[in-house]
Amino acid sequence: MRKIIVTGGAGFIGSNFIFYMLERHPEDRIICLDKLTYAGNLSTLAPVMDNPRFRFVRADICDRAAVNQLFQEEKPDIVVNFAAESHVDRSILNPDIFLQTNIIGTAVLMDACREYGAARFHQVSTDEVYGDLPLDRPDLLFTEETPIHTSSPYSSSKASADLLSLAYYRTYGLPVTISRCSNNYGPYQFPEKLIPLMIANALNDRPLPVYGEGLNVRDWLYVEDHCLAIDRILEKGRIGEVYNIGGHNEMKNIDIVRLICRELGKPESLISYVADRRGHDLRYAIDPEKIHRELGWLPETKFAEGIRKTICWYLDNRTWWEEIVSGEYQEYYKKMYGKTDEEMQ
């Protein structure tokens, strides 16, 4: 039995990874460590809370005493670090918490790995550390050799954590791997991100706020494909290596919004163009050739299939996201787009 600590496991990708690992690896024990910030939702983990191979621990990865106590109790074989402040807009409003969680928290986890002998530390990162690509050069893709060139406090904090992880590998011999993924979508994504925000607003006939002209391009990856890629890296990935995980699904933001309108039978007149984000990256596009060549991974979910599955999930789980889109989130929404949902109607 492998003991695997999954940090940030009450969030979007972390929770999907926990579900995936419990199903695919019945011999593993999964320990979820999560602070339960605004983006962490304990109800997400309800399906596995009674699983004897699962344990939930509420703690901050920056809390060295709490982290060390958990590592002492569990003696994990593997740590997969999803825990991060991850929304670019929030990093522009308040960079401090991103630096604390994403950099210091990663260091605390790696120190615990060194102290208690974890066999692997996997850092989950983002393609945003590479900056952006021009819209008129579709031939250009991010590879693992692309220089880091960050645009926001968020991406800078993630790049810092990546570099720190590689430094721990070189200096201390800590068995580290890093993955950098493109934009994820799927079940349980917090509705501040593009796809769930547009689904939730469209279902309620509310305005669909689109930055600028919506021409920014993203490479979309279905979350379960991401989980499979990390599983492959844990099993076969080379220590000290970075692996890019891309979806081969480049789309303009405005095209995503229009597609959601069509799927839900909503008019495009709901689209509301708002002032562009500061430092807004133009295009992300990952070349996953390395992980395909070395580990045999390629995305399995076509975007047309994945977006329909995602929309159906939000239709079938309205209670989950309706409880989120209220209160504190409305105040944040107002900061981002100038008005609350209600005021934009």
Residues with catalytic roles: 127-128, 154
* 3-class DSSP string for the chain: CCEEEEECCCCHHHHHHHHHHHHHCCCCEEEEEECCCCCCCHHHHHHHCCCCCEEEEECCCCCHHHHHHHHHHHCCCEEEECCCCCCHHHHHHCHHHHHHHHHHHHHHHHHHHHHHCCCEEEEEEEHHHHCCCCCCCCCCCECCCCCCCCCCHHHHHHHHHHHHHHHHHHHHCCCEEEEEECEEECCCCCCCCHHHHHHHHHHCCCCEEEECCCCCEEEEEEHHHHHHHHHHHHHHCCCCCEEEECCCCEEEHHHHHHHHHHHHCCCHHHEEEECCCCCCCCECCECCHHHHHHHCCCCCCCHHHHHHHHHHHHHHCHHHHHCCCCCHHHHHHHHHHCCCHHHHC
φ, ψ for residue 119 (rounded to 5)? -80, -15
